[in-house]
Structure 1
């Protein structure tokens, strides 16, 4: 008798909910929900439908208002939905009211990202950082965990123990947060010693929005096997590799990707990871040029670097990745309206604001290996200048090596 196939657990069916407000128009809300769908897919959920509601701002009780919530409830019942994911942070009061109405699991954007972080964390360092972020997220939401006591509120003596339990849990969580922060301080000290032990080698850090190809580029340049996947937050752990281009060694660091609407306290949990960015001599800002809104992603990364890392003024090379996936829709010759972003070819874009970047920009495909030699050349020149400021006596060696390389190139050309 043949063994029966093992049943695999079906992914949770989810609906996504976002707002259209004066500060966030319909196109922006749609883009954010598309990104939220990618997050849900990364977490293992299947998005069945997206709901949007036009409002001046979130409703303090139900986020989207009672009418829209009733519409969502009816759809959920008819389509066997297990989870509702909201594109903004929810208060404990909002979550309680929404769960009471929908009778399904309710998550907000931060809760979903934390779930992905917990799934992706592989090292003790990353797991500690994620655990700290989870407890900091949980602390202001403790009251929702004790809503079962509301049914007994009329009973004598029940209200006091409920409040006492909440305070007890709060103290336990605060103690855990304190312990985790001390663990991370210890990790920071160890990482600091490791960085000092690396000597005065030039440090280059890969930064960028999540899922732009940083880890793929890391593998290509360092010939290593850093985990890379077409998912958001595939990399949480900092990876440092020694890279040698021509005669010059330097350290290359892969870091966690950034994303919109990422709470500061969550980023702060990854301080030891971001210290690698703070102490880098040169940043490679990797951009997915095939993404329709890559310019906004650049702004998000630059803002995060300035606000959290204090690294906005560091030397930087913009690496526009995924040129092989770039597409555009040529504008009809009879269309007299100004060309939009989606109508511009890659050559058109290079002649736009990007042209002002000069030597600070390079266009590549890490997956296809397109234009990698130009990137390596730029890296070599930048790293060499940084190296010579620390070891001026090496200038003669570099000049000698470069002259030999030129002579070999001339001889090769003559032979051919």
Structure 2
């Protein structure tokens, strides 16, 4: 004879609390009646729930619903924004961008500063020198400007491999040493080491930048309706993120998606263990795109607030803005053909059903480039694959970093008894 198990009142209360908190995180402030509908609880149970969450400092009255309504039934309950703050970092080659958000997800401060590339070291021994300290000072300045003393979670996005077991940032290619220096300094703070400084995060997550861009597109952008897709990053460098069955797949060493090393036809040779010059990177990396644009006579569109020298994304943006122009059409056709070669290889192995073109080049090409790649892909693979352009505005790395940091903070805070 089996005995049916039921949750204890405390366990049931904790489950209901988390459901309510997740509703508030997803939808924003709600009335008690709306929480009743969303949770399926009785009105007295909702009242008890709100009292518990208020005592925990997670929920408070933040306004009223409707100008004509007054009284307890009109009160809007929302997450206490200052209960926790999170930070996202986007470490570029020569600069670092920072975003600070509160528990509701509202960004309260952004900063973007250059970091002198005074040391470069492809090995694991580089400590970043002054560059790492400069980057950390940018983070500290953003925290001070936001009035935050100790963020709950910091997520750092950077190029290179992140060991899934240790969170250590490394790389297959030569990367700025200050990236590892910044990661090391942040980790020392998180571990509370003497002399590491104030503002220690409760959690530190180091993640590959392309993976964070994929998270952003999944939660905020082009693929909110899919749990399986591949994001192809087209920028100065080339990379991919594998988002399969609702989760990032990083590989045993964190190297899943290092598509720049993929051997493909059309290059001068084969890639090596230390050089992706003969791989897919040689077809669609920034230098290759600029050379193709030059041959076709495409004049790059200067990026707003960006560098005044010709860029690959500027060439793609200029061509995509007027695709009927003969030179633009030829350039986009060649680029789409090259991109499709790499995408076809990924599709043959993973069959994701959807590929997102991200990075500066993918977003610059927009739907025009995505449609051209899709058309060429049809002739290369029998597997039906949709190609979409990334739609997240601003920095998708920061966007994915904030999503990841908020998930971490909320998961811990919402499940505490």
Q: TM-score range by the shorter chain?
A: under 0.3
Larger Rg computed on CA atoms? 1
- Normalized per residue, the structure richer in helix is 1
- The structure showing larger relative contact order (alpha-carbon pairs under 8 Å, at least 6 residues apart) is 2
> What TM-score results when the alignment is normalised by the length of structure 1?
0.26
> What TM-score results when the alignment is normalised by the length of structure 2?
0.26
